[in-house]
Structure 1
Amino acid sequence: MNEDVKLNVAVPEHQRDVYDEEAEQMGFASRSAYVRAMVNSGRRDFGLDPQGPGGEATTLEDVIEQRIVDIIDDADGASRDAVVQEITGDIEQTITDCLSRLDDTGKIDYDIQQDGLVVRTEGD
């Protein structure tokens, strides 16, 4: 059985606040879970195995399951509909925010001929 160990990393207070806000927006159960996801994402960008040899892979399903447990625990019980609404509301807002950022940076655009969103290419 793997035991968790703590890594202490110093960041400025304002950065911690940014991590907390982003973790909440993305539906992470904790700052630690969010920071682990960021580290693993960065490792992937460097072409590394984010979990290392023998590591445990965290899936979106794992994140959602933990979020479900946290929602129910925080509310001291919750209906199935309340849990679904809480999670889908978080996801819907995150998707809306991502679409806005992608549009603002010019990575996507609305194409009337396609009647939907398209990825912008160089020269568009």
Structure 2
Amino acid sequence: MSEEAETERSTVMTYVPAYQKAEWKAHADELGMSQAEYVRTMVQAGRKGFELDSQEADLEGSSPPSDPGGSGLERRVLDALDSADPLSWNELVESLSSNFEDRLEETLESLQNDNRIRYSGREGGYRLVDQ
């Protein structure tokens, strides 16, 4: 792919409920990202999450006790780099961490559904619900 094709930009438009946009904006602000950067990152993370779910299942237990996470991480790095195009540091980090973000989001949603934590934009983040 040419360098010009890699930097060419195109517009994508979507419509979401106002409350969802407000949540996305608040989360983007917390992460120090623009709304466009946030949506781009979340979409890419979601796309890669579909691929990593099955890979992660294959990797569980693959590291020797003397190197916890080592062999599994090596395999994930090699798999991520197994393409015709090189990956930058940020692209590699994103490809390896997207599944964590998906799992964190699912866990936070579950904890909120169980009324154990809540998110408050006004307070700037997640808090335990008083028991």
TM-score by length of 1: 0.44
Normalized per residue, which structure has more helix?
A: 2
TM-score by length of 2: 0.42
